[in-house]
Amino acid sequence: MNLIPNFKPENIVQSIENITKKGFEVVSSAEKGGNWDEVITATDNFECELGRLTSVNSHLNAVMFSDEFNTQYEQTLPIITNFYSDISSNKALYTAYKNLKNTDLNEQQQHILQESIDGFELSGVGLEGEDSKRFKAIKEQLSLLSNQFSKNSLKATNEWIKIVELEELKGYSETELAKIKTDKGYELNLQMPVYMDVMTYLDNRELREEVYRAYASRASEVGITSVDFDNKAIMDEILALRQEMADILGFKNYAQLSIESKMVESVDQILEFLTNLVQKSKSQAQAEFDELSQFAGIVLQPWDLGFYSEQLKAKKFGFKKSDLTPYFPEQKVLEGLFSTIESLYKVKVQQIDESSYHNDVRVLEITSNNQLIGKIYLDLYARKDKRGGAWMADYQPLIGNEKPIAFVVCNLNSPSKGKPALFEFDEIVTIFHEFGHALHHVLTKVKYPCAAGISGVPWDGVELPSQYMEFFCYERSVIDKMSEHVETQKSLPDELYNKLIASKNFQSAMGMLRQCEFSLWDLQTHLGKCDTYEVLTQVRQQTALMSAIDENRFLNTFGHVFSGGYAAGYFSYKWAEVLAADAYYYVQEHGGIGSDASLDFLHHILETGGSQDFMDSYKAFRGKKPEINALLQANGIVI
């Protein structure tokens, strides 16, 4: 049993060609199969083998980007896409799956089989002739466009740097200065940790504006770079191809196609859900914005929001974000995270000495009763050759005697000159979030890889475990475990803790509107009505509290929708947030961390994965469907 991924792939084009050739042989045999093992187990096992290879390739392309490797990687994308297109349109294999409905299957197998059959149908298995050829060509082109979108976003982000003098950085503490100190002086860039510091702490309004304009216009025709990384034509082509896919399959638009594989019942249901959230949040959000404007005493611009919000928060609650940061050094935060996971789910998390693809990466083992459950590769720090954002990716599911492996990736600041990395509280929330995903993958008990962990879970259910984990960051017992002042070694004092909790929902209604704006824009864009920026303008008439600058092109780097899996599904964050809030309050009411209720979440949600209807899993845990009021309560929105 080898649990060490091969992080030095060579000849990846040839490797992909060889393994997909093997895959066609496996499928050819499965077409003739008459029982579960001959059809589904055989294809499942092969998909795990292929998945390990493609997962490592895509992972390295995201976290250690180089033009040389990317050139090879791009050559593999059509091979992989065409392979999956051929499989998903294979009528003989589809028939073999349907024939299994007449065999003796358990409930998990019946659910998995029906989901697989539905997947075939949404992947064009019923198409003939030119429609089938065109559908396959579209999927190939989308894989290439998605990669190009990510590549442009990364390069446009890396292109902009600015050397500044110390006197220009008034408002920065030693913590923020340490992130940007170089041999040349102080270097600002558009990496997320640096950008957020500028927006939050920098007194120099002109410099804030300059950095904001550079960030907001990345990968666009007005981007402040020396090279053309404009993503707009790519976005337009992606949207047109998605619409064409929907047309070929008989859907009115891509939004309808996307919803078919989600928990929700219809596009209208989600539009109603989001509109309801906007209506319930709008007046409180306006009051929050008016309070901020009055406090700032100026006509607010986008580059002012973070800065004056931090100032107002400090005045209202008697502390600022940087007061918390010294209490959260990296190692202590991770110790607290691991301890919380151990208490919640009765497992052991420990770092082991194992080499990986980069010196920054920690390798973690998850065990129970001294038995290995799985591994997590944790890559925390921002790097120039690393895609922005935070995510979890699966490398290997539970299959036979082989244990699950996941990658957890963030873009946080790193240690500097002998000093540990210090994390802002928002960053800690992000770490907990991504570990929620990883635990969903690693703690599975499902023996069928296609439904183990996050596999087979509808997209609007995938975010439940991650958002559920976020709630525990704020518990006193958890903060005691993960806080230790970098100089005094004292835990976060009660005074600061109480201020943190009091400020938890500061401007939460403004945040709610912002997320609803993204979700409504995404859904309306995939209804195919007009240009995506026109859609944004229309949506902002409902959600926006201030005007955007003319050169704002943030959609041009919106990877979740254009190079991730959230197309016509960004609403999943809000939908799952309802589930997460409802789940958390239920667990709190029934004993909290370590209680039978928290173990019920493990058994019915994490361990069950995609092996049954996800809402049925939730009802088995909770006893009933979730309600929207839990989300409003969690955000402090009064209705």
The CATH number of the domain holding residue 445 is 3.40.390.10
First to last CA, the chain: 55
What percent of the chain shows pLDDT beyond 90? 91
Write out the two tokens for 500: 């943190």
Residues 121 and 165 in one domain: no
Cα–Cα distance between 520 and 570 in angstroms, integer?
A: 9
Do 447 and 346 lie in one domain? The reply is yes
Tens of pLDDT, residue by residue over 312-348, are 999 999 998 889 999 999 999 999 999 999 999 999 9
Q: How many CA atoms lie within 13 A of 135 on its CB side?
A: 23
Q: How many CB atoms lie within 10 A of CB 222?
A: 14
pLDDT digits (tens, 9 = 90+) for 165-220: 999 999 999 889 988 999 888 999 999 999 999 999 999 999 999 999 999 999 99
Q: How far is CA 276 from CA 236, 509, 513, 516, in A?
A: 30, 13, 11, 10
Mean per-residue pLDDT of the chain? 95
Candidate from 1-5, 36-40, 119-123 with smallest mean pLDDT? 1-5
Considering 411, 436, 454, which residue would you say is the last residue of a domain? 454
Is 583 a member of any domain?
Answer: no
pLDDT at 303: 98
φ, ψ at 358 (rounded to 5°): -155, 150
Which residue in this structure is represented by tokens 């301890």? 339
**Would residue 557 count as lying in a domain?**
no
Helix (H) or strand (E) holding 601: helix 596-601
Alpha-carbon distance of 12 to 69, in angstroms, equals 9
Identify any residues that bridge with 396 across adjacent strands, giving them in sequence order: 405
Number of structural domains (the chain) is 3
Distance of CA 82 to the CA centre of its chain: 26
* Contact call for residues 309 and 537 (beta carbons, < 8 A): no
Domain that holds residue 440: 326-454
**365 and 421 assigned to the same domain:** yes
Q: Are 340 and 449 in a shared domain?
A: yes
- pLDDT value at residue 627: 87
| CATH code, domain with 109 | 1.20.1050.40
Residue 205 located in a structural domain: yes
Does 83 lie in the same domain as 186? no
Both 331 and 449 in one domain: the answer is: yes
User: Among residues 61, 57, 47, 58, which one has the least CA distance to residue 19?
Assistant: 47
Asked whether the beta carbons of 178 and 422 are under 8 A apart, the reply is no
Which of 385-389, 479-483, 585-589 is predicted least confidently?
A: 385-389
Task: Give backbone dihedrals phi and psi of 142, rounded to 5 degrees, phi first.
Answer: -65, -40
> What integer pLDDT is reported at residue 13 of this predicted model?
96
**Number of neighbouring beta carbons within 10 Å of residue 170:** 11
Is residue 2 scored above 60 in pLDDT? no
pLDDT at position 221 over 50: yes
Whether residue 190 sits in one domain with residue 106: no
Distance CA 75, CA 153 (A): 20
Collapse the DSSP code of 556 into the 3-class scheme (helix H, G, I; strand E, B; otherwise coil) and give the result. Answer: helix
Same domain, 211 and 111: no
pLDDT value at position 3?
A: 55
CB 301, CB 210: distance < 8 Å: no
Q: Tell me the per-residue pLDDT of 286-296, one tens digit each, with 9 for 90 and over.
A: 999 999 999 99
142: in domain: no
- Do 360 and 413 fall into the same domain? yes
- pLDDT greater than 60 at residue 533: yes
Residue 1: what pLDDT? 39
417 within a domain of the structure (yes/no): yes
Phi-psi region of 623 (alpha: psi -120 to 50; beta: other; left: phi over 0): left
Residue 385: predicted pLDDT: 92
- Whether 154 is covered by a domain: the verdict is no
Please state, in angstroms and rounded to a whole number, the distance separating the CA atoms of residues 632 and 581. Answer: 9
- Residues 310-336: b if buried by 16+ CB within 10 A, e if exposed: bbbbbeebebbbbebbbbbbbebbbeb
Cβ atoms of 96 and 30 closer than 8 Å = yes
Question: What does each C-alpha distance from 206 to 198, 212, 362 come to in angstroms?
Answer: 11, 10, 39
Q: Mean pLDDT across the stretch 69-86?
A: 94
Outline where DSSP puts E strands in 256-370.
348-352, 362-368
Structural tokens at position 55: 């997962």
Last residue of a domain, one of 437, 454, 471: 454
- Whole-angstrom Cα distance, residue 410 to residue 333? 14
Alpha carbon distance 532, 164 (integer Å): 36
Give percent of the chain with pLDDT exceeding 70: 99
Q: What is the pLDDT of residue 244?
A: 98
The catalytic site residues sit at 434
Cβ atoms within 10 A of the Cβ of 419, count? 12
Q: Tell whether 93 and 169 lie within a shared domain.
A: no
Residues 206 and 115 in one domain: no
Is residue 596 a part of any domain in this protein? Answer: no
Q: Is residue 616 part of a domain?
A: no
For residues 262 and 487, give the distance between their C-alpha atoms in angstroms, rounded to a whole number. Answer: 49
| Beta-sheet strand order (sheet of 161-164) | 161-164, 185-189, 181-182
Amino acid symbol at 498: N
Other Cβ atoms within 10 Å of 307 Cβ, number = 21
Number of Cβ atoms within 10 Å of the Cβ of 268: 10
| Nearest to 179, CA basis, from 191, 171, 168 | 191
**Mean pLDDT, to the nearest integer, of 515-535?**
95
Q: Are 237 and 145 in contact (CB under 8 A)?
A: yes
Give this prediction's pTM. 0.90
Q: What is the pLDDT of residue 417?
A: 79
Asked if 224 and 217 count as a contact pair (C-beta separation under 8 A), the reply is yes
Of 70, 99, 126, the residue that ends a domain is: 126
Q: DSSP letter for 416, please.
A: B
- Return all residues near 506 (Cβ < 8 A) that are at least 6 apart: 309, 313, 316, 317
Q: 412 with 353, same domain?
A: yes
Alpha helices in 389-507 (DSSP H): 425-442, 459-462, 464-472, 476-482, 494-502
Count of CB atoms situated within 10 Å of the CB of 57: 20
Between CA 265 and CA 270 the distance in angstroms is 8
- Strand, helix or coil for residue 551: coil
